[in-house]
Every structure is written in C-alpha cells, then in structure tokens.
Amino acid sequence: ELPPSSEDPPEEYPTGWVHLSSGKVRELYQPAPGSSWDGQDVVLMVASDRISAYDHVLSTPIPDKGIILTQLSLWWFDQLEAAGISHHVVSVDVPEEVAGRAMICRRLEMVEAECIARGYLTGSGLAEYRQTGAVTGLQLPEGLRDGSALDEPIFTPSSKAAQGDHDENISFETLTETVGVDLAMRLREATLRIYSLAESTCRAAGVILADTKLEFGFDAAGTLTVADEVLTPDSSRFWPAESWEPGAAQPSFDKQFVRDWLTSSESGWDRSSGQEPPALPEKIVSATRARYLEAYERLTGTELVF
C-alpha cells in the first residue's frame, strides 16, 4: 500500500462505489463489493468541475461544469439512441453525492483512438492545413481560412496519449495500423454519421458544430459503442451561427474562450515554458460558465435547473 498523496482522489467515494481511475476531468468508479451493482460490468462516471486546456488541468474549477456536461451528454445520448446508435449509458440513478454529474455506464474496452469529425477548419486542423495543405493526410482545397466550412465533413483521428502527453493527429493509414482496417473504417463511418446527425440538430438551434471528438469502446458482447461524453463544449466547438464569418477566430460557446485567455498577454503564461498555467480570474470563470450554460440551453431548448 502506498501512502496517500495529494494526487489521490477524494477519500470519500460515492456510496456503493470504489475508485477505479482518474482522467483529467472525470473519475471512474466500480461497484463496491456487496453493493446493488456488484457483479455487473458497469462503471460510475463522475464529471468534476475541473477544466483542462493545452493538456493541463487548470487549478481553477468552473462551477457546475460537471453537471452541465453530464446533462448535455445525456440529452445527446437520447438523440443518438433514437437514431439507433448504441451508447454506454445504463442508468442515471446515481448516488446523491454526485447527483446530476454522474452516469452509470457499461464498462467498455476502450478503442485507443480519439475519433474527430470536422465540418469546419480551425484549431489543430487549421494549423496542419497551413503547413501542409492537408489535415491528417486529407488534401483540402486551397484558400481556406480560419472557420471556413469544408465541402464535406472529414474524419481526422488522433492518438489517445497517456496522461500528461499530447494527443496527436494521425492519418487514417496510421489508425489502420493501430486498430486494423476493418475497425478504422467502422470508426470513420460511425463518427461521420454522428457528426452529420448532430450538425443538423445544432444548425436547427442556430449553432454551428465546427468539430467534435468521440470515443468508442466494445462492450462484453463485442458491440461497438459510443462512450465517454458526447457533443459537449469540452469535446466540441460550438459557434453561434448568426455571427459566423470565416477569416478569424469565431466567437464560441466552448473552451476556446479559456484557451484564448491563457495564450493572451493578460495571463502572462508561456505555453511552451512547460510551467503550469495560472489560475483563472473570476471574470473568465463566470464567462466560461455562462458559455457552457448557453450551449446547453440553445441546444436542448430548456433551462438547466440546479
């Protein structure tokens, strides 16, 4: 037994669950021996209020973020289910301590890749395009700008890095080398199908879904299943349709706002220094919370009551 360290998760686990693993934002738990879920292949996935940017977990949480992300994911999982797409959620009957911010999911064997669909060019896709004219090996037409719409959505996978490491964009070819051609093709098809479904739902709500990242896994029966969070402001870029104007960074309902502050002179942080980013000022915290809430409210058409 190792002595407890400051890295350890909170001592108190949600009733009936024991800790399994920590991600940057989420804690995973498995059923405690003798609990009602004991013996079932499930995990309790709890979203904290932590926010990460540029591969760092920031020292300042965004109040209610875990609830907003969980509730928005659940709303999307319902939309996906209605379209016949299988997802990992089993129940939202979670312990009171984590009410609203947790879901009980089938425990999956995760696919070691992040599945990204892009309908618009920005972020790491834009950076790659400016260097090579292509994104993950996919050649794009000349003259595209920050925020340009692509003729067709593209699948641009990335490697799922170990904690602390960068996820890196990889070509479809490289993906086939890690997961095999058959699975790579299924991931591409599923990712583009979900993007296209979600993009039209967003468009109807006046929101551009510029890009999104999905994670998949296999359940015990071998079914390829959508996992993790889906179509949230942490995993997607959402832009208000009314102000879309390619040629510069778009206003957004997502984490971009925090990234922009971190890389502005105001933060005093040098991304390449290897140092931890500074604490977020209160105005950035509250504006970020408001953006996450606005994404939820615009998309679902309902208000989130805490």
| Nearer of residues 48 and 250 to ligand ATP, judged by Cβ | 48
Give the burial class of 205: count Cβ atoms within 10 A of its Cβ; 0-12 exposed, 13-18 middle, 19 or more buried.
middle
For residues 195, 198, 203, 204, the Cα torsion angle rounded to the nearest 10 degrees is: 160
Identify which of 148, 94, 139, 92 has the alpha carbon closest to the alpha carbon of residue 120: 148
Residue 148: phi, psi to the nearest 5?
-60, 145
Closest CB 178 distance from ligand ATP, rounded Å: 15
- Count residues binding ligand ATP (CB under 6 A): 18
Q: Does 110 bind ligand ATP (CB under 6 A)?
A: yes
Q: Does 43 bind ligand ATP (CB under 6 A)?
A: yes
| Residues 55 and 76 sit within 8 Å (Cβ to Cβ) | no
* DSSP labels, 96-107: GGGTTSEEEEE-
| Nearer of residues 60 and 148 to ligand ATP, judged by Cβ | 60
| Residues 210 and 239 sit within 8 Å (Cβ to Cβ) | yes
Closest CB 245 distance from ligand ATP, rounded Å: 31
Kindly give the pairing relationship between strand 216-218 and strand 109-110.
Answer: antiparallel
Q: Which x/- pattern, by CB under 6 A, does the window 63-92 give for ligand ATP?
A: -------------------------x----
Q: How far is CA 40 from CA 37, 62, 107, 229, in A?
A: 6, 33, 9, 21
Q: Does 132 bind ligand ATP (CB under 6 A)?
A: no
Region near ligand ATP per CB under 6 A, out of 24-32, 92-100, 278-286, 292-300: 24-32
CB count in 10 Å sphere of residue 201: 15
Q: Does 233 bind ligand ATP (CB under 6 A)?
A: no
| Nearer of residues 18 and 204 to ligand ATP, judged by Cβ | 18
Q: Does 25 bind ligand ATP (CB under 6 A)?
A: yes
Closest CB 253 distance from ligand ATP, rounded Å: 19
What's 169's DSSP letter? B
Kindly state the tokens that stand for 83: 């379209």
Region near ligand ATP per CB under 6 A, out of 6-14, 99-107, 177-185, 249-257: 99-107
Kindly state the tokens that stand for 54: 């540029």
Residues numbered 45 to 64 that lie near ligand ATP (CB under 6 A) are: 45
Strands (E), 222-282: 224-226, 236-240
Closest CB 262 distance from ligand ATP, rounded Å: 17
Q: Which x/- pattern, by CB under 6 A, does the window 186-225 give for ligand ATP?
A: -----------------------------x-x--------
Write out the residues near ligand ATP by the rule CB under 6 A.
Answer: 23-26, 28, 43, 45, 88, 105-108, 110, 163, 215, 217, 227-228
